[in-house]
Chain A
Amino acid sequence: MTDKKKGPKLVSRRNTLKGIGAGALLATTGMPKMMGYAQAQTSEPIKIGFQVHRTGIGAAYGRWYDRTTQAAVKRINDMGGINGRPVEIVAEDDGTDPKRGAEVVEKFASQHNCDIAFGTLFSHVVFGSAPRAGELKLPYFVVSEGHHVASGKLNRYTLQPGITDVKSQVQAMAPFVGDNLGKKVTMIYPDFAFGHDHRDFFSEAIERQGGQVVAKIAVPPAETSFTKYFPKIPRDTEVVYHVMVGPAVLTFVKELGEFFGPSRPEIFGFIDSLEAVDINSPGLEFLEGTYFWEGMPRYAQANQTSHDKLYREAVGVDENGASTSDPKDVSTFAHMFGCWETLNIVKKGMESAGYKGPEDRAKLIEAVEAMSDMPMSDDHPQGAKRFNGKTHQTFGSQYISKVTDGKLVVSHTTSIEDTLYEDEVDYTTQPF
């Protein structure tokens, strides 16, 4: 037997290279997690993750939310940005899908290192995304008009400061409907949560006015023909209240007109039934003399404010609420102002919080929670707002317009007080 003594093993060049390679791999892949998010340099842009419905059921809204957002950011940047830093929009399509919505929020927080997320409209996407925003501690500014924020179902990181919610809108409509159109109301609404909110909130509100809902006609989602629902409207109906969303809204309204013919009851609708649809489309002539709720008047009114004018020019919307480059491309005017106003509120919030980077996200939320009255201005062209920091929900005037000569003419504007209701949550008691 031989006893071979092994000498000290030298580190070979191959092993050294392997070690360097492994180190480099660890540095490029593992380091981000170990180091966390590096603090933003002051010259770096403020990144706003824009969760946009580019595809799916919300695509028509998404297109106009996108245009409004780009216009608002351009204006903010032209005015010097936020705290001297330019604003950059990082847009991601959520497919109007709650699963993809949550993934997009994660992408904003940990891939793009966005400062906030913003812009979601459809309620189910908000519900799917908000839990992740809260867990990732990413301020999430939604433009949804759902009652979900003020209902207390979400979390402290989710706010809706730029658009009113459906509960306040519906509640403010009931006095006008009861006093001017009739007391016996038949409601036609989509048979899902958004429609159920209308059904429940309006039923309560009209009863307070001494009226009653004589029939509640729920239309299943994805319905393409509506004629079979209209015979359910009771003969003693004085007012038909309709709200519909989705790609079949035009068919819905046309078939409603065909059903009634020349003699119809009073009709009151939410403009959601005709968002992005030309009100002068063939078959909609029967709408003449009917009433619509509008979040913001689609047609420039006789008493148009300078704020409305500036806003339309910036976004590229003409006096009829259509694109300045294509009159057939009708906007979602009643909702999209929410993007504009939300971004201006974010700007104010960041400035008052002295926002520097993600470490100041809690300060940003506290700064927005501290906001209250916001007068009508170029930042708030829809009208004055009153933000409730406890419920994270804003309140504002609503518009009721009458179709007159093929245009929507405002016939009544509610006060902010008409839209208020009791707090259902106090998010400020929740820890960050």
Chain B
Amino acid sequence: MTDIQRSNWLHIGVVIALACSFFILPEYHSGNLARILVLAVYAMGYNLLFGYTGLLSLGHALFFAAGMYGLGLAMQFFDFNPIAAVIAGLILALVVSICVGFLALRTTGVAFMIVTLMFAQAGYLTILYFGEYTRGDEGFVIQQADRMVGMIDLTSPMGRFFTALLLFAICFFIIAYIVRSGFGLALVAIRENEERATMLGYDVMRLKLQAVVISGVMSGSAGAAYALLFGYAGATFATVQYSIFPLLWVLLGGAGVTIGPLIGTIFMFYLIDYSSAITPAYMLIAGLALVLLTLFAPQGLAGELRRRFLPWLP
């Protein structure tokens, strides 16, 4: 079996396993998994930019929030149906990511981090400024009755889970395809040595902008899905904390590994969930676990797996 075949089976197998898990897991955990899948999409978008292109953004919450508010406001004020509202969310995330990418990519390294952080902060304050429409930090609810797609009730456990899985599968396969394509390999070349990629004739600026846009739209799709599936849009999701989360998920799961974001999101979710049941100082436990992982598995869980046992992991 070639590495490509192995990779294909891995991605298909993961999606099938996730689908089966809905029927096996208790309700609480299958509900968690629906949320994890949406957040993993966010992390996958982040991973494309950070893990494969080597651009560390501290402002991805802006893209997540763009998708969330694009959908939420379209439903709230223009009575869009869920499908049209998702498209509105994606379009807003697309526009925002083009603008941010165009300006932020004029910088590199630490400056890129700061510029993206500032853009996200500006986005957060914009949401607060237009509080009359966005309801600011308080946010707004997307009513249960509005979250139907045809006969599919997105508020039912099954409807929510399989919608989340569908989005996850689409993004998972897109990422798997991209990282094996010439485009993906060029991104890795930029990550490894940007000057060399330029010398080889790649239009580095264009490639990086494309990576920002794909990453931003994917993150926006997660934001739109979160609002649609869980019925809430709020400015909290545009705060810097929500820009740090995907970085943590990707670092824990494995940067530059397609399955890393899913593993990292699951790990982080349950680390907080279980440690909060043990002690109110659960963030201390979470922090300790993160330090230990960084020390002993610096490439993340999937990255370590690839280094030790599965070198073919894409």
Residues of chain A having any CB pair with chain B under 8 Å:
26, 29-30, 32-33, 54-55, 92-93, 97-100, 102-103, 106-107, 110-111, 123-124, 127-128, 130-132, 134-135, 146, 148, 153-155, 191-194, 196, 220-221
A32 to B31, CA, bound (A): 13
A194 to B136, CA, bound (A): 9
Determine if B280 is an interface residue (Cβ-Cβ < 8 Å): yes
A-B contact pairs, 18 of them (CB 8 A): A29-B24, A30-B26, A33-B23, A54-B280, A93-B276, A98-B139, A98-B236, A103-B32, A127-B135, A127-B141, A127-B234, A131-B155, A134-B144, A135-B144, A191-B136, A192-B128, A193-B135, A196-B131
B138 touches A192 (CB 8 A): yes
A132 touches B27 (CB 8 A): no
A240 to B235, CA, bound (A): 29
A194 to B128, CA, bound (A): 11
How far does the Cβ of B131 sit from chain A's closest Cβ, in whole Å? 6
**A residues near B131, Cβ cutoff 8 Å:** 191-193, 196
B232 touches A131 (CB 8 A): yes
Chain B 19-46 per-residue mask, 1 if CB under 8 angstroms from chain A, else 0: 0000111111011100100000000000
Determine if B282 is an interface residue (Cβ-Cβ < 8 Å): yes
How far does the Cβ of B146 sit from chain A's closest Cβ, in whole Å? 11
- By DSSP majority rule, is chain B's interface helix, strand, loop, or mixed? helix
**B residues near A100, Cβ cutoff 8 Å:** 272
B273 touches A124 (CB 8 A): no
**B residues near A29, Cβ cutoff 8 Å:** 24-26
A104 to B230, CA, bound (A): 13
A111 touches B28 (CB 8 A): yes
A135 to B143, CA, bound (A): 10
How far does the Cβ of B284 sit from chain A's closest Cβ, in whole Å? 11
Among the interface residues B35, B131, B236, B277, which one has the most CB atoms of the partner chain A within 10 A? B236
A193 touches B27 (CB 8 A): no
Q: State which of A127, A155, A194 has its C-beta within 8 Å of the C-beta of B140.
A: A127
A123 to B136, CA, bound (A): 11
- By DSSP majority rule, is chain A's interface helix, strand, loop, or mixed? helix
**B residues near A102, Cβ cutoff 8 Å:** 230, 232
A191 to B125, CA, bound (A): 10
Determine if B137 is an interface residue (Cβ-Cβ < 8 Å): yes
**A residues near B155, Cβ cutoff 8 Å:** 131, 135
B128 touches A191 (CB 8 A): yes
A54 to B283, CA, bound (A): 11
**A residues near B280, Cβ cutoff 8 Å:** 54-55, 93
Determine if B211 is an interface residue (Cβ-Cβ < 8 Å): no
Determine if B237 is an interface residue (Cβ-Cβ < 8 Å): yes
A328 to B1, CA, bound (A): 70
A196 to B139, CA, bound (A): 13
A243 to B276, CA, bound (A): 33
Determine if B231 is an interface residue (Cβ-Cβ < 8 Å): yes
A232 to B283, CA, bound (A): 41
Determine if B142 is an interface residue (Cβ-Cβ < 8 Å): yes
**B residues near A55, Cβ cutoff 8 Å:** 280, 283
How far does the Cβ of B236 sit from chain A's closest Cβ, in whole Å? 5
B27 touches A32 (CB 8 A): yes
Given A98-B234, A99-B236, A192-B131; A154-B144 close (CB under 8 Å): no
Which chain A residue lies CB-closest to B129?
A: A191
A126 to B23, CA, bound (A): 30
A361 to B142, CA, bound (A): 23
**B residues near A54, Cβ cutoff 8 Å:** 280
B32 touches A106 (CB 8 A): yes
Chain B 99-135 per-residue mask, 1 if CB under 8 angstroms from chain A, else 0: 0000000000000000000000000010011011001
Contacts A107-B273, A192-B131, A193-B135 aside, 6 further interface pairs with beta carbons under 8 A come to A30-B26, A33-B27, A55-B283, A102-B230, A123-B138, A196-B132
A196 to B136, CA, bound (A): 9
A124 to B129, CA, bound (A): 16
Among the interface residues B128, B138, B139, B234, which one has the most CB atoms of the partner chain A within 10 A? B138
**A residues near B144, Cβ cutoff 8 Å:** 131, 134-135, 155
How far does the Cβ of A7 sit from chain B's closest Cβ, in whole Å? 35
A259 to B141, CA, bound (A): 40
A93 to B276, CA, bound (A): 7
A192 touches B136 (CB 8 A): yes
Given A29-B24, A93-B276, A107-B28; A221-B137 close (CB under 8 Å): yes
Among the interface residues B129, B141, B277, which one has the most CB atoms of the partner chain A within 10 A? B141
8 tightest Cβ-Cβ pairs between the two chains A and B: A131-B231, A193-B138, A110-B28, A111-B28, A192-B137, A32-B26, A110-B27, A192-B136
**A residues near B139, Cβ cutoff 8 Å:** 98, 124, 127-128
**A residues near B283, Cβ cutoff 8 Å:** 55
A110 to B31, CA, bound (A): 9
Given A102-B232, A132-B230; A148-B138 close (CB under 8 Å): yes
